[in-house]
Amino acid sequence: MAIERTLSMLKPDAVKNNITGKINSYIESSELKIIAQKMMLLTKKQAELFYEIHKDRSFFLELVEFMTSGPVIVQVLVGENAVSKYRQIMGATDPKQAEKGTIRGDFADDISENRVHGSDSLENARKEIAFFFAECELV
């Protein structure tokens, strides 16, 4: 089993609804550790760059608007198979498909406001962590 790092983001709807502590308890109940965490308000440019892969999708403008609508919490999680483990804890992208017991299954109703982001591959985890954190911030 490989020890990995992954990037987690608690999206504006999670902060607005005051459920970041509850979400962190899902993370901490698994074997993942939060090794860095900060609250920030994404600029339009940051949100566009972060979700660049979706720039041609019909929901891109809506996504950027949502991601800049309020503060987010970005986190780095570490643990065995952290990338796939966190994807399991998050649940399916569309909360209607997400299983109960997952963050999206328990706290979200709609794909456009699905509470959390998690890297989908080790390569993207490295890029996304570097997008938000300097190595010296990972403790």
Of residues 35 and 120, the one with the C-beta less far from ligand GDP: 120
Which member of 117, 118, 125, 132 is catalytic?
A: 117
Per the annotation, the verdict on 54 as an active-site residue is no
Distances (CA, A) of 86 to 66, 81, 92: 22, 8, 11
- The least CB distance from residue 79 to ligand GDP, in Å, is 19
CA pair distance 110, 132, nearest whole angstrom: 26
CA pair distance 10, 22, nearest whole angstrom: 11
The site map against ligand GDP for 94-113 (x = CB under 6 A) is -----------------xx-
Of residues 6 and 114, the one with the C-beta less far from ligand GDP: 114
With CB under 6 A as the rule, give the number of residues binding ligand GDP.
Answer: 10
For residue 63, the tally of other CB atoms under 10 A from its CB is 18
